[in-house]
Amino acid sequence: MTIKQITIIGLGNIGGSIGLAVRNSEMANVTVTGYVRREDAGREALRLGVVDRVSDDLGDAVSGADLVVLATPVSAMETVMQQINPYLASGTVVVDVGSTKVDVNSWGRQHIGPAATFIGGHPMAGSAATGIAGANGDLFRDTVFCVVPEPDTPRSAHRMLEQLLEWVGARPLPMSAPQHDQCVANASHLPMLLASVLVTTVANNPQWDVTSQLAAQGFREMTRMTAGSAEVRRSICSTNKQAISDAIGGFIDTLENYRQHILEDDEELLAMFEDARSARSGWVAMRYPR
Protein backbone atom coordinates (compact mmCIF):
# COMPACT_ATOMS: atom_id res chain seq x y z
CA MET A 1 0.00 0.00 0.00
CA THR A 2 1.40 3.34 -1.06
CA ILE A 3 -0.55 6.57 -0.81
CA LYS A 4 0.17 8.74 -3.83
CA GLN A 5 -2.82 11.05 -3.79
CA ILE A 6 -4.91 12.38 -0.94
CA THR A 7 -8.07 14.39 -1.52
CA ILE A 8 -9.44 16.57 1.25
CA ILE A 9 -13.09 17.57 0.99
CA GLY A 10 -13.74 20.69 3.01
CA LEU A 11 -10.84 23.05 3.64
CA GLY A 12 -11.77 24.55 6.99
CA ASN A 13 -9.47 24.57 9.99
CA ILE A 14 -9.22 20.78 10.32
CA GLY A 15 -9.11 19.97 6.60
CA GLY A 16 -6.59 22.74 5.96
CA SER A 17 -4.41 21.63 8.87
CA ILE A 18 -4.36 18.04 7.57
CA GLY A 19 -3.27 19.30 4.17
CA LEU A 20 -0.50 21.39 5.67
CA ALA A 21 0.66 18.59 7.98
CA VAL A 22 0.86 16.08 5.11
CA ARG A 23 2.64 18.53 2.82
CA ASN A 24 5.11 19.39 5.61
CA SER A 25 5.80 15.73 6.37
CA GLU A 26 9.17 14.54 5.12
CA MET A 27 7.86 10.98 5.01
CA ALA A 28 4.95 11.70 2.70
CA ASN A 29 5.46 11.82 -1.03
CA VAL A 30 1.95 12.59 -2.12
CA THR A 31 -0.15 15.04 -4.04
CA VAL A 32 -2.83 16.75 -1.96
CA THR A 33 -5.99 17.83 -3.78
CA GLY A 34 -8.57 20.03 -2.11
CA TYR A 35 -12.23 20.25 -3.02
CA VAL A 36 -13.65 23.72 -2.55
CA ARG A 37 -16.85 25.22 -3.89
CA ARG A 38 -15.81 28.86 -4.06
CA GLU A 39 -13.07 30.02 -6.41
CA ASP A 40 -11.61 32.54 -3.95
CA ALA A 41 -11.40 29.82 -1.28
CA GLY A 42 -9.41 27.72 -3.74
CA ARG A 43 -6.99 30.56 -4.41
CA GLU A 44 -6.58 31.08 -0.66
CA ALA A 45 -5.86 27.36 -0.14
CA LEU A 46 -3.16 27.41 -2.81
CA ARG A 47 -1.69 30.63 -1.45
CA LEU A 48 -1.48 29.15 2.08
CA GLY A 49 0.10 26.00 0.68
CA VAL A 50 -2.38 23.61 2.28
CA VAL A 51 -2.92 21.71 -1.01
CA ASP A 52 -1.09 21.10 -4.27
CA ARG A 53 -4.17 21.60 -6.39
CA VAL A 54 -7.82 22.49 -5.97
CA SER A 55 -10.96 21.45 -7.77
CA ASP A 56 -14.53 22.66 -7.56
CA ASP A 57 -15.84 19.39 -8.99
CA LEU A 58 -16.32 16.53 -6.53
CA GLY A 59 -15.87 13.77 -9.12
CA ASP A 60 -12.72 15.35 -10.47
CA ALA A 61 -11.37 16.02 -6.97
CA VAL A 62 -11.60 12.39 -5.81
CA SER A 63 -10.67 10.72 -9.08
CA GLY A 64 -7.40 8.84 -8.67
CA ALA A 65 -7.25 9.43 -4.89
CA ASP A 66 -5.89 6.63 -2.70
CA LEU A 67 -7.26 8.32 0.40
CA VAL A 68 -10.19 10.72 0.67
CA VAL A 69 -10.58 12.78 3.85
CA LEU A 70 -14.07 14.12 4.57
CA ALA A 71 -13.62 17.32 6.56
CA THR A 72 -17.02 18.96 6.09
CA PRO A 73 -19.49 19.53 8.92
CA VAL A 74 -21.17 16.24 9.88
CA SER A 75 -24.44 17.55 8.45
CA ALA A 76 -23.00 17.54 4.92
CA MET A 77 -21.28 14.14 5.02
CA GLU A 78 -24.06 11.82 3.93
CA THR A 79 -24.68 13.83 0.76
CA VAL A 80 -20.97 14.09 -0.02
CA MET A 81 -20.56 10.32 0.34
CA GLN A 82 -23.38 9.71 -2.12
CA GLN A 83 -21.90 12.18 -4.57
CA ILE A 84 -18.31 10.91 -4.52
CA ASN A 85 -18.89 7.15 -4.43
CA PRO A 86 -19.36 6.69 -8.22
CA TYR A 87 -15.96 8.33 -8.83
CA LEU A 88 -13.90 6.38 -6.30
CA ALA A 89 -11.25 4.02 -7.68
CA SER A 90 -11.01 0.45 -6.48
CA GLY A 91 -9.17 0.26 -3.17
CA THR A 92 -9.70 3.91 -2.25
CA VAL A 93 -10.16 4.47 1.47
CA VAL A 94 -12.50 7.19 2.69
CA VAL A 95 -12.03 8.53 6.21
CA ASP A 96 -13.96 11.30 7.91
CA VAL A 97 -12.88 13.62 10.70
CA GLY A 98 -16.33 14.36 12.12
CA SER A 99 -17.19 14.62 15.80
CA THR A 100 -19.75 11.80 15.95
CA LYS A 101 -19.43 8.28 14.65
CA VAL A 102 -22.54 6.05 14.90
CA ASP A 103 -24.48 7.95 12.22
CA VAL A 104 -21.41 8.72 10.11
CA ASN A 105 -20.27 5.08 10.10
CA SER A 106 -23.73 3.94 9.12
CA TRP A 107 -23.74 6.40 6.20
CA GLY A 108 -20.28 5.10 5.22
CA ARG A 109 -21.60 1.53 5.18
CA GLN A 110 -24.62 2.56 3.10
CA HIS A 111 -23.01 4.88 0.60
CA ILE A 112 -19.32 4.00 0.19
CA GLY A 113 -18.41 0.84 -1.75
CA PRO A 114 -18.13 -1.75 -3.03
CA ALA A 115 -15.00 -0.45 -4.81
CA ALA A 116 -13.94 1.84 -1.95
CA THR A 117 -13.98 1.38 1.83
CA PHE A 118 -15.04 3.69 4.63
CA ILE A 119 -13.42 4.01 8.07
CA GLY A 120 -14.40 6.54 10.73
CA GLY A 121 -11.93 8.91 12.33
CA HIS A 122 -11.99 11.77 14.81
CA PRO A 123 -8.96 13.93 15.64
CA MET A 124 -9.07 15.13 19.27
CA ALA A 125 -7.38 18.37 18.34
CA GLY A 126 -8.95 21.73 17.99
CA SER A 127 -7.94 25.29 18.39
CA ALA A 128 -9.52 28.64 18.99
CA ALA A 129 -8.53 29.41 15.38
CA THR A 130 -11.23 28.83 12.80
CA GLY A 131 -11.22 28.57 9.04
CA ILE A 132 -8.44 27.86 6.63
CA ALA A 133 -6.56 31.01 7.65
CA GLY A 134 -5.98 29.36 11.05
CA ALA A 135 -4.74 26.08 9.54
CA ASN A 136 -1.74 24.73 11.41
CA GLY A 137 0.51 21.92 10.21
CA ASP A 138 1.37 20.98 13.80
CA LEU A 139 -2.23 20.83 15.00
CA PHE A 140 -2.21 17.02 15.29
CA ARG A 141 1.32 16.60 16.63
CA ASP A 142 1.16 14.34 19.75
CA THR A 143 -2.62 14.40 19.84
CA VAL A 144 -5.04 11.47 19.97
CA PHE A 145 -6.95 10.46 16.84
CA CYS A 146 -9.92 8.15 17.43
CA VAL A 147 -9.95 5.33 14.88
CA VAL A 148 -13.48 3.99 14.65
CA PRO A 149 -13.85 0.97 12.35
CA GLU A 150 -16.79 -1.40 12.03
CA PRO A 151 -16.10 -5.07 12.87
CA ASP A 152 -15.73 -5.92 9.17
CA THR A 153 -13.64 -2.92 8.10
CA PRO A 154 -10.76 -4.39 6.07
CA ARG A 155 -7.22 -4.26 7.40
CA SER A 156 -6.15 -2.18 4.37
CA ALA A 157 -8.34 0.71 5.49
CA HIS A 158 -6.77 0.59 8.98
CA ARG A 159 -3.31 0.63 7.46
CA MET A 160 -4.02 3.58 5.20
CA LEU A 161 -5.46 5.65 8.07
CA GLU A 162 -2.51 4.72 10.28
CA GLN A 163 -0.17 5.94 7.56
CA LEU A 164 -1.93 9.31 7.50
CA LEU A 165 -1.72 9.55 11.30
CA GLU A 166 1.99 8.81 11.23
CA TRP A 167 2.49 11.64 8.75
CA VAL A 168 0.54 14.19 10.78
CA GLY A 169 2.05 13.00 14.08
CA ALA A 170 -1.16 11.80 15.76
CA ARG A 171 -1.60 8.72 17.96
CA PRO A 172 -4.39 6.27 16.96
CA LEU A 173 -6.90 5.31 19.67
CA PRO A 174 -9.19 2.54 18.39
CA MET A 175 -12.75 2.14 19.65
CA SER A 176 -16.25 1.24 18.52
CA ALA A 177 -18.67 3.86 17.22
CA PRO A 178 -21.13 3.65 20.17
CA GLN A 179 -18.30 3.88 22.68
CA HIS A 180 -16.82 6.83 20.81
CA ASP A 181 -20.08 8.72 20.82
CA GLN A 182 -20.66 8.17 24.53
CA CYS A 183 -17.12 9.20 25.44
CA VAL A 184 -17.07 12.37 23.33
CA ALA A 185 -20.54 13.31 24.59
CA ASN A 186 -18.93 13.58 28.03
CA ALA A 187 -15.46 14.80 27.13
CA SER A 188 -16.30 17.29 24.46
CA HIS A 189 -19.96 17.81 23.57
CA LEU A 190 -21.01 18.41 27.19
CA PRO A 191 -18.26 21.02 27.85
CA MET A 192 -19.13 22.76 24.58
CA LEU A 193 -22.81 22.87 25.55
CA LEU A 194 -22.11 24.13 29.07
CA ALA A 195 -20.36 27.18 27.63
CA SER A 196 -23.45 28.14 25.60
CA VAL A 197 -25.85 27.30 28.42
CA LEU A 198 -23.84 29.45 30.81
CA VAL A 199 -24.06 32.47 28.50
CA THR A 200 -27.77 31.94 27.87
CA THR A 201 -28.46 31.61 31.60
CA VAL A 202 -26.47 34.60 32.76
CA ALA A 203 -27.20 36.97 29.88
CA ASN A 204 -30.94 36.41 30.24
CA ASN A 205 -30.95 37.00 33.98
CA PRO A 206 -32.65 40.33 34.90
CA GLN A 207 -29.39 41.39 36.60
CA TRP A 208 -27.29 41.08 33.40
CA ASP A 209 -26.89 44.84 33.20
CA VAL A 210 -24.75 44.81 36.37
CA THR A 211 -23.47 41.24 36.08
CA SER A 212 -21.98 42.02 32.68
CA GLN A 213 -19.88 44.77 34.25
CA LEU A 214 -18.35 42.60 36.96
CA ALA A 215 -18.09 39.28 35.12
CA ALA A 216 -14.41 38.68 34.50
CA GLN A 217 -11.83 36.03 33.61
CA GLY A 218 -13.72 33.03 35.04
CA PHE A 219 -16.80 33.83 32.99
CA ARG A 220 -14.66 34.61 29.99
CA GLU A 221 -12.84 31.30 30.14
CA MET A 222 -15.93 29.20 30.79
CA THR A 223 -17.74 30.71 27.79
CA ARG A 224 -14.93 30.83 25.20
CA MET A 225 -16.20 27.59 23.63
CA THR A 226 -19.32 29.40 22.40
CA ALA A 227 -17.07 30.85 19.67
CA GLY A 228 -17.14 27.87 17.31
CA SER A 229 -19.53 27.43 14.40
CA ALA A 230 -23.17 27.13 15.45
CA GLU A 231 -23.79 24.94 12.40
CA VAL A 232 -21.05 22.50 13.45
CA ARG A 233 -22.39 22.14 16.96
CA ARG A 234 -25.95 21.80 15.78
CA SER A 235 -24.91 18.91 13.52
CA ILE A 236 -22.98 17.33 16.38
CA CYS A 237 -26.10 17.50 18.55
CA SER A 238 -28.36 16.15 15.84
CA THR A 239 -26.15 13.09 15.26
CA ASN A 240 -25.49 12.33 18.94
CA LYS A 241 -28.80 13.13 20.60
CA GLN A 242 -29.10 10.25 23.02
CA ALA A 243 -25.52 10.17 24.30
CA ILE A 244 -25.55 13.95 24.78
CA SER A 245 -28.89 13.77 26.59
CA ASP A 246 -27.45 11.05 28.86
CA ALA A 247 -24.37 13.19 29.55
CA ILE A 248 -26.64 16.15 30.39
CA GLY A 249 -28.63 13.91 32.73
CA GLY A 250 -25.47 12.84 34.54
CA PHE A 251 -24.36 16.45 34.81
CA ILE A 252 -27.68 17.63 36.25
CA ASP A 253 -27.67 14.83 38.84
CA THR A 254 -24.17 15.84 39.93
CA LEU A 255 -25.03 19.54 39.96
CA GLU A 256 -28.13 18.86 42.09
CA ASN A 257 -25.94 16.88 44.47
CA TYR A 258 -23.50 19.80 44.81
CA ARG A 259 -26.46 22.14 45.31
CA GLN A 260 -27.78 19.99 48.14
CA HIS A 261 -24.42 20.02 49.90
CA ILE A 262 -24.15 23.80 49.39
CA LEU A 263 -27.59 24.40 50.92
CA GLU A 264 -26.78 22.10 53.83
CA ASP A 265 -23.36 23.75 54.15
CA ASP A 266 -21.72 20.48 55.14
CA GLU A 267 -18.13 19.30 55.36
CA GLU A 268 -18.60 16.88 52.45
CA LEU A 269 -18.55 19.82 50.03
CA LEU A 270 -14.89 20.48 50.81
CA ALA A 271 -14.03 16.87 49.92
CA MET A 272 -16.02 17.16 46.68
CA PHE A 273 -14.01 20.21 45.60
CA GLU A 274 -10.76 18.48 46.60
CA ASP A 275 -11.70 15.30 44.71
CA ALA A 276 -12.58 17.27 41.56
CA ARG A 277 -9.33 19.20 41.74
CA SER A 278 -7.24 16.10 42.20
CA ALA A 279 -9.05 14.11 39.48
CA ARG A 280 -8.47 16.98 37.09
CA SER A 281 -4.82 17.49 37.95
CA GLY A 282 -4.21 13.72 37.69
CA TRP A 283 -5.83 13.76 34.26
CA VAL A 284 -3.73 16.71 33.08
CA ALA A 285 -0.54 14.99 34.26
CA MET A 286 -1.52 11.83 32.38
CA ARG A 287 -2.70 13.51 29.16
CA TYR A 288 -0.20 16.35 28.99
CA PRO A 289 3.02 15.02 30.53
CA ARG A 290 6.26 17.11 30.75
State which of positions 246-265 bind a second copy (CB under 8 A). 247-248, 250-256, 258-259, 262-263, 265
**Applying CB under 8 A, what is the total number of residues that bind a second copy?**
90
Q: Say whether residue 13 binds a second copy (CB under 8 A).
A: no
Q: Say whether residue 179 binds a second copy (CB under 8 A).
A: yes
What span, in angstroms and rounded, lies between the C-alpha atoms of 9 and 130? 16
Q: Say whether residue 198 binds a second copy (CB under 8 A).
A: yes
Q: Among candidates 37, 33, 38, which has minimal Cα distance to 19? A: 33
Q: Say whether residue 225 binds a second copy (CB under 8 A).
A: yes
Rounded to whole angstroms, the maximal C-alpha distance in the chain is: 67
Q: Say whether residue 226 binds a second copy (CB under 8 A).
A: yes
Q: What is the DSSP string of 69-129?
A: EE-S-HHHHHHHHHHHGGGPPTT-EEEE--S--HHHHHHHHHHS-SSSEEEEEEE----S-
Q: How far is the CB of 64 from a second copy (least distance, A)?
A: 33
Choose which of 38, 47, 155, 220 interacts with a second copy (CB under 8 A): 220
User: Residue 165 in contact with residue 158, Cβ under 8 Å?
Assistant: no
Q: How far is the CB of 289 from a second copy (least distance, A)?
A: 13
Site for a second copy in 101-160 (CB under 8 A): 124-127, 143-144, 146
Judged by beta carbon, residue 27 or residue 263, the one nearer a second copy is 263
Choose which of 197, 285, 289, 290 interacts with a second copy (CB under 8 A): 197
Q: Say whether residue 76 binds a second copy (CB under 8 A).
A: no
The length of the chain, given as a count of residues: 290
Q: Say whether residue 184 binds a second copy (CB under 8 A).
A: yes
Q: How far is the CB of 203 from a second copy (least distance, A)?
A: 4
Q: Say whether residue 39 binds a second copy (CB under 8 A).
A: no
Kindly report the number of other CB atoms within 10 A of residue 134's CB atom.
14
User: Residue 83 in contact with residue 63, Cβ under 8 Å?
Assistant: no
123 preceded by cis ω (within 30°)?
Answer: no
